[in-house]
Amino acid sequence: MRLQTVLLAAAFVFLTEADDQHRPPPPTTPALSNGLAKTPPMGFSTWNQFGDQISEQLIIETIDTMASNGLRDAGFVFINLDDGWQRYPGNRSYHPGPIEADPVKFPKGIKYLSDYAHSKGFKFGIYNGPGQQTCAGYIGSEGHVEEDAATWASWGVDHLKYDSCCSEGPTAPQAEVETIFRNMSLALLATKRPIVFHACHCGWADIWKWAAHDGANQWRIGQDIPDDFNYPGYRDGYYFDVLEMLDRGRGLEKYSGPGHWNDYDMLIVGLNGNSTQLEGTGCSNVEYRSHFTMWCMVASPLLIGADVRTLSAYDLQTLTNKEVIAISQDPLGKVATVVHEDLTLQTQVYAKDMSDGSKAVAYLNRGTLTANITVDPFKDLHVWWKQYHVRDLWKHQDMGIFNFSNPYMVEVFAHEVKALRFTPIWS
């Protein structure tokens, strides 16, 4: 008896020590949190369509359009200025005064725009970078971190995209990148204004592992998205198309959750190959719909990158599908994982736990031929439901009651996604 106890104790010590060797060292800094973004942020960003060709009039018209065409009411509330709102190009050290907006593009100033956004039920976002210059060559925040955070707070800013990819680069050590984000996070917290913090570093330095600890609410998992669903061939290694971005997210699901999200980059729905910034020739209606569905499944932030004033009726319907948006905004904050795949047919099934006990399920056809897709509830979804009810979230139709010997199977076109909700029937 005594020997057993001794052996058990020794085994415990051995296992604990072995386990400790594989554990990353605990962070030496306290965790930061602003308590915001309990669900993935939704809104509009200027970059994908307009680059730095932005103006007061564009933003006012964007706000007015989104207030009246259903986008605001579907949840797209952030109106985010990306790069190019700043007055000066060049190094910050040549412009040591407080950061200013370009007076030609924004004659009434940023506070006027954020007040306008707030008066119409929106929130307002801004962009800058930590170095001397931002990615588009405007002055960065180096040496002015606290001052800039205070300026943005005084303008009524609710979201900051702070983009280090051009100043720190893909090989910058984690400690260096972490410090610059942490410093801005602390500066934002010091303003006492609730400001959602996007730590944007193009998916380098394993940012998903540490950014939430440093107070970030979202971080990009990859470089920029192009306007392509599946670019056929090698491009330049910089862009991740829709399917590549989804693959990039595999294995990173656990880093996302309420308050801190893996960001698969801004939406390309509606760009139709007309972006002034992104490579790519555009996608079909079906591909844009699949892209939107999958961004909801993986709980990515949802920032519309197209010109909302000229969206087609189809794209508007895509972006305002409340049943699909409910997957993105579910309070449990889970990220869908691949539960089944067929490498020959190039089909995948993604599933995500919902807070009401149901499952959001996406049947994704990555291939170029129509395929029948199904999923085994026991083997793949690990549920012991005798029967389940299936709803098609794009058709807005109940598809019937199914069970393990008769699982839901459906024909899925090339590059199409069937967005489904499986709800157990217990009686």
82, 83, 102, 163: the active-site residue: 163
* The token pair that represents 297 in the structure block: 């499944």
Which CB atom, from 163 or from 227, has the smaller least distance to ligand GLA?
163
Per the annotation, the verdict on 73 as an active-site residue is no
Which residues sit opposite 387 in a β-bridge? Answer: 403, 425
Which CB atom, from 163 or from 287, has the smaller least distance to ligand GLA?
163
The distance of closest approach from Cβ of residue 388 to ligand GLA in the complex, given in angstroms and rounded to an integer, is 40
Rounded CA separation 101/270 (Å): 28
DSSP 46: S
The distance of closest approach from Cβ of residue 268 to ligand GLA in the complex, given in angstroms and rounded to an integer, is 12
Which CB atom, from 163 or from 330, has the smaller least distance to ligand GLA?
163
* The token pair that represents 235 in the structure block: 């491009």
Query: What is the total count of residues that contact ligand GLA (CB under 6 A)?
Result: 10
Say which residues have a Cβ less than 8 Å from residue 292's Cβ, sequence separation at least 6.
Answer: 267, 269, 302, 318, 319, 321, 324
330 makes contact with ligand GLA (CB under 6 A): no
Which residues sit opposite 398 in a β-bridge? Answer: 391
Say which residues have a Cβ less than 8 Å from residue 126's Cβ, sequence separation at least 6.
Answer: 80, 81, 85, 110, 152, 155, 157, 159, 160, 161
- Binder of ligand GLA out of 136, 180, 339, 390 (CB under 6 A): 136
263 makes contact with ligand GLA (CB under 6 A): no
Rounded CA separation 85/338 (Å): 40
Rounded CA separation 111/127 (Å): 15
**Count of C-beta atoms within a 10 Å radius of residue 96:** 10
Task: Give the H/E segment covering residue 149.
Answer: helix 145-154
Which CB atom, from 37 or from 136, has the smaller least distance to ligand GLA?
136
- Binder of ligand GLA out of 56, 102, 163, 253 (CB under 6 A): 163
CA-nearest of 193, 159, 171 to 82 is 159
134 makes contact with ligand GLA (CB under 6 A): yes
**Count of C-beta atoms within a 10 Å radius of residue 81:** 30
The distance of closest approach from Cβ of residue 224 to ligand GLA in the complex, given in angstroms and rounded to an integer, is 5
SS3 of 5, please? helix
CA-nearest of 354, 43, 31, 29 to 196 is 43
Rounded CA separation 17/272 (Å): 56
Say which residues have a Cβ less than 8 Å from residue 250's Cβ, sequence separation at least 6.
Answer: 337, 338
The distance of closest approach from Cβ of residue 129 to ligand GLA in the complex, given in angstroms and rounded to an integer, is 8
* Choices 108-116, 128-136, 246-254, 380-388; region in contact with ligand GLA by CB under 6 A: 128-136
* Choices 134-142, 231-239, 342-350, 362-370; region in contact with ligand GLA by CB under 6 A: 134-142
Per the annotation, the verdict on 163 as an active-site residue is yes
82 makes contact with ligand GLA (CB under 6 A): yes
Which CB atom, from 277 or from 365, has the smaller least distance to ligand GLA?
277
- Binder of ligand GLA out of 224, 227, 241, 263 (CB under 6 A): 224
52, 102, 224, 228: the active-site residue: 224
* The token pair that represents 418 in the structure block: 């069937």
* Choices 131-139, 144-152, 243-251, 347-355; region in contact with ligand GLA by CB under 6 A: 131-139
With CB atoms as reference, the residue minimizing the distance to ligand GLA is 135
The distance of closest approach from Cβ of residue 221 to ligand GLA in the complex, given in angstroms and rounded to an integer, is 12
The distance of closest approach from Cβ of residue 39 to ligand GLA in the complex, given in angstroms and rounded to an integer, is 21
Which CB atom, from 182 or from 201, has the smaller least distance to ligand GLA?
201
Site pattern 341..360 for ligand GLA (x: CB under 6 A) = --------------------
SS3 content of the chain, % helix, strand, coil (to 5): 30, 20, 50
The distance of closest approach from Cβ of residue 132 to ligand GLA in the complex, given in angstroms and rounded to an integer, is 14
227 makes contact with ligand GLA (CB under 6 A): no
**Rounded to the nearest 5 degrees, what angle is found at the Cα of 25, between the Cα atoms of 142 and 210?**
40
The distance of closest approach from Cβ of residue 267 to ligand GLA in the complex, given in angstroms and rounded to an integer, is 12
SS3 of 150, please? helix
Q: Which residues lie near ligand GLA (CB under 6 A)? A: 47, 82-83, 134-136, 163, 165, 202, 224
Q: Which residues are catalytic?
A: 163, 224
